[in-house]
Amino acid sequence: MSDATFTSLLSLLSSPHPSAISHLSLLPPQTLHTSLVYYLGQKSTRSLLLQALLSSTSLAALPSLSPLLFSAAKTAQITSLPSTEPSLVSLSLLSGALAAADTRRSTRRVAPAWGTHIDALVEQQLGQEEKDAVAQLLASLAPQLQEDVLTPRSAALTALMEDVITRALPEVLIPKGEQDLLKHLSAYRSEAPFIHLGPISNLLSTIYAAQARSLSPDETYAHVSPLLSLFLERAEAWSREWEDQTLDEASRTEVFVYFKSLLFSALLVHDSLLDGLLDAIPAQPLVLPLSAATPALTPQPDYPPGLMTSNLPVPYLQLSQTVLRTHAALSWLEVSTQALDRVLFAALDLVARDGIAALELTDMLWPGHLAAPTATAAGKERESSSKEKDQEKRRLARLTFYFDAVEQLLPSLPPTTQRQLLGQAEPYLHTPDWKQTYEAAHSVFLATFASQSQLCAEVAPYYAGVLLNAFDAHISEEQFELGYVTLVEAASATSDALALLLCDDLRSAIEQEEEAASGKSTGDALTAADDNQALSEPAMHVTPRLQALRSTHIALLPALHLVLLHTHLAHIRAHILDSPPTKELREALAEKTFEALGKLDAATRDAGAMWWTREREAFGV
């Protein structure tokens, strides 16, 4: 066929004028069919022809053209959809064509124009094949469909897209008695709903975000909660199924595809929804004491004293709770992405603004079947089967998620609940082999101190001992310093006596380390001969642990009130002048001191500056 014939066909299809449709109607059907089959089958002409078809108004204005195009597309093997309904012809052609052509280039121009065509289709009573075809169209256009195209059609599109997601995520992931699970799952994964899961979830997320910004809280909840509840139900049900299975490696890999697909589909929706919710809430929500008239998110007769609530809409808090419960159920997958972190922190930020919501979420997330670890259990775990080890790994991952979440919620919780959380975390302060859970448990304690909880005075001396015992075998120098400084800051806010006690505990640990390094006991009286011999001996060996303990002792300066400052500075002077055997170590401590003095507040700054002016020459800096 000639180039002139192809050019004429493009002109007729692309023209917006009614006369073009009349010319098309005059062409013999067989001739047009033959031309379409030929040009759709050629790589050199396919993209141009598809672009003309996508931008054409002829499909809607000339009904006889639709079956012709569908037949041509099938003959050219662009699409193999089984439906032959004329109402689906252009849709089938479009979806298949986009998969074969340069999608990005063709949809950039025509996606908005196809909005009216989408309207005409979704307003019909669609059968299952028709729904799949519409879903295929939407999935193909997904990268280019913007909010202004989707939002006006949200009511019709949402139900259709939610249907696709529901069918893509079966109620039972691992059927009992299934002889060939791998074959079953592979076949299911090749079906249309699963293939379109990602793009459809992305489109729904755009609609949900727009609804959150424009609708009332109750209306937003009514539109969004069914799908969020579906994600939660599937996450919990599939995880229970997984725990009961012993699968070969190939089947495990196939099952993981489904779990990851569920996670990322939910993540797409959650991310955009939370962006919308954060835009919709008051910029500075009110925090109010709990009253008898305050509605609870879930029925609960009594709340602990000291609980605060807010004026945030209850539906927004409920949606955030559902998001967090879903990711808690999937936490054993141990996926870590920036998008997931953003979703979790956004949801926790919303819930933490309301004491009732925070308290209820704490109860929802606590995996009560998880027992505290014991030395015996840890020993058995090393000898257990691979299935038992896998179960233990999932157990700890779920518990780690819980500790990470309540760390963010803790400032909003009443003292009775904080005490409960510390009791839950305390056993894991002594299980360094489980690193993530171990660090998460420490974070719960540190969050308690950072929030200046009423429990600080009660817990601080115990936790100081935990930190000293853990350093430097299980926590780094940076972690130890951060933990101890946070501890003393909280103690200073409670009482200077408690802060002094913690400083003395650290100084005692330094003295013990110095004794070990020098081989002498500070409690022994030295004779003159001993003293003369000591002067001729080399200085003590300063271990990295000793240097780190001294550095942390210096870092406590900004946490202390004036009443303790001078005594503490005297000890720091001794650290710098008396002990370090090398100039490098002495300079490192002096620089640390200068840095700490720069962080003093107005009440202590002058005293610190005078001390430094007086001593700096002796320090050699």
Residue 70 has pLDDT above 60, yes or no: no
Quote the CA–CA distance of 408 and 349 in Å, as a whole number: 8
461, 490 in Cβ contact below 8 A?
no
Residues 6+ apart with CB under 8 A from 259: 238, 242, 330, 333
Which run of H or of E encompasses 587?
Answer: helix 583-597
* Angle between helical axes of 314-329 and 217-243 (0-180°, round to 10): 20
**Residue 421 tokens, joined:** 């959380």
Specify the pLDDT at position 463. Answer: 96
Residue 118 has pLDDT above 50, yes or no: yes
Question: Which letter does DSSP use for residue 310 in this model?
Answer: E
Range 142-147 average pLDDT: 68
Residue with tokens 């913690």: 502
Collapsing DSSP to helix, strand or coil, 287 comes out as strand
Quote the CA–CA distance of 462 and 472 in Å, as a whole number: 18
Q: Which of 28-37, 227-236, 491-500 has the lowest mean pLDDT?
A: 28-37
87, 121 in Cβ contact below 8 A?
yes
Residue 328 has pLDDT above 70, yes or no: yes
Residues 6+ apart with CB under 8 A from 86: 63, 66, 67, 70
Collapsing DSSP to helix, strand or coil, 355 comes out as helix
Specify the pLDDT at position 68. Answer: 61
225, 322 in Cβ contact below 8 A?
yes
Closest to 117 (Cα-Cα) out of 97, 151, 89: 89
The structure's pTM equals 0.78
Quote the CA–CA distance of 205 and 561 in Å, as a whole number: 51
Average pLDDT, the chain: 80
380, 343 in Cβ contact below 8 A?
no
Closest to 572 (Cα-Cα) out of 548, 553, 596: 553
1, 38 in Cβ contact below 8 A?
yes
Residues 6+ apart with CB under 8 A from 583: 620
Q: Characterize 596-610 residue by residue with b for buried, 16 or more Cβ atoms within 10 angstroms of its Cβ, and e for exposed.
A: bbeebeeebeeebee
Question: Which letter does DSSP use for residue 288 in this model?
Answer: E
530: number of Cβ within 10 Å = 12
Q: How far is CA 474 from its chain centroid? A: 26
pLDDT tens track for 540-582: 678 889 999 999 999 999 999 999 999 999 999 988 887 666 7
